[in-house]
Structure 1
Amino acid sequence: MPPINISIDITHILGLCLKRIQHARVILLSSLPNRCLLCQQRIDQTGYQQLFPNQVLTGVCQVCLAASLYQHEVCLGCGREIALLQAYCGKCLKQGPNYVVAPCSYHQGLGPVIAAIKYQQQCAPLNAITQQLACRIALLIKHGIIRRPQVLIPVPLHPNRLRQRGFNQAWLIAKELSLLTNIPLDDRCLIRIVDTLPQTGLAGKQRRKNCHGAFALQPNMTYQRVALIDDVVTTGTTVDEIAGLFSLQFIHVQTWCLARAEAPGLLD
């Protein structure tokens, strides 16, 4: 009798189990009351599962979601509207800031939904918005605008803040993105060593001072390309502070987030 390849058998079994779990999740979510956090209307699944198999639209309806997404191309540096699918506008092309990839603007509809995820633990819309982020990422990779990273790294919370909030929304986004993109997640290499003040309400200079020295990175990392994952990027202070640590190890960084919050007043 030929030897049995146990590793293949286990992989096959795990794959079947995962498919059954996903199917059960779809059935369960479809049976629960499901209303849009923006318009309060019942969410219609018609057509959505044809576009995204094994996904149930929760927390935000198709109409509100579609209306809130970017309707034009945006610069990956500053978030301004640009005419063509390319990385930078003319101004950012000279400066070369780190890429920030997002499917929408925080101020164009989905802001209240993303805030509800973060502050009210209403995580129902997270998967749908993350799915749109994954689509945006796939488009940019397909056209050679960005390179596929080797790993996803969620922006960490300090342990005190994590205990207070109960979850890290950046980790939840990274976990879902890892499933959608098949890019591994590493939540151990980057830690927050200072329990900083919340960035909300701070001016640009205050934000930079607040974040300075707040993070620590594992030495001698083997990655060449990473994607930082967060819920919202406003001035980019937090991700720039982290990117500086990666640059010391010659690691290229881009940021993927659910939304960009364009706030010129905070850039002073």
Structure 2
Amino acid sequence: MVIAPASYHQGIGELVAGIKYRAELAALDMLVMALVERIKQLQRLGLIRLPQAMIAVPLHPNRLRQRGFNQAWLIADTLSRQLGIPMLDKVLVRRVDTRPQAGLTGKQRRRNLADAFILTEPINYQRIALIDDVVTTGTTVQSIAELFAAHYIHLQVWCLARAEAPGLLE
């Protein structure tokens, strides 16, 4: 299940890209607040249960050095403070320095992420939220979800925006 307050292609794509690629963080709190409101709405409607912990999609150390920050970690940190849900850090690691997913086909994305992530220690929770900035094809979250499914952990994916497939909005 992917939870996002907005569409990437209908207004906030530039804000999300600005956070990710140019460290333009002014809109971060506003976008996270929209996500918090969406989560609370779904909880009130009985459609979701809040997770017991959250984990940010990790960057490989090389990418982290290049970018200087992990936008998913910044989002998760803000969410953790606003919702009072602990953030687990360093239990999910990107062990392969993959190419950026942008511009790759679905098949290339799957090949790019094969065995890219590992869990470094057991997780003693049944419900986890995986935090990312944007979900496009879902390849990254699917790759990570398989790790959690092997340990019988229910995974929700929370992101600032969902990028719909080409033609879906027409």
Q: TM-score range by the shorter chain?
A: over 0.9
1:254 aligns with 2:156: yes
**Which runs of at least 4 in structure 1 moved beyond 3 Å after TM superposition?**
none
1:218 aligns with 2:120: yes
Q: Alignment partner of 2:155: what SS?
A: strand
Higher gyration radius (CA): 1
Inter-partner Cα distance in structure 2 for 1:118 and 1:187: 19
Q: Alignment partner of 1:123: what SS?
A: coil
Deviation (angstroms), 1:188: 1.5
Give the alignment's Cα RMSD to 1 decimal. Answer: 1.0
Paired amino acid for 1:227 = A
Structure 2 residue ranges without an equivalent (≥5):
none
Match of 1:93 in 2: none
Paired amino acid for 1:241 = S
Identical counterparts, % of pairs: 60
Inter-partner Cα distance in structure 2 for 1:133 and 1:154: 15
Show the 5 A alignment for 1:36-75. none
Q: Alignment partner of 1:253: what SS?
A: strand
Inter-partner Cα distance in structure 2 for 1:127 and 1:221: 28
Show the 5 A alignment for 1:70-109. 99-109=1-11
Given the alignment, which residue of 57, 75, 85 partners 1:183?
85
Inter-partner Cα distance in structure 2 for 1:247 and 1:259: 24
Deviation (angstroms), 1:160: 0.2
Deviation (angstroms), 1:212: 1.0
Match of 1:159 in 2: 61
* Bigger share in strand: 2
TM norm structure 1: 0.61
Given the alignment, which residue of 120, 134, 138 partners 1:236?
138
TM norm structure 2: 0.96
Inter-partner Cα distance in structure 2 for 1:195 and 1:218: 17
Given the alignment, which residue of 206, 227, 233 partners 2:129?
227
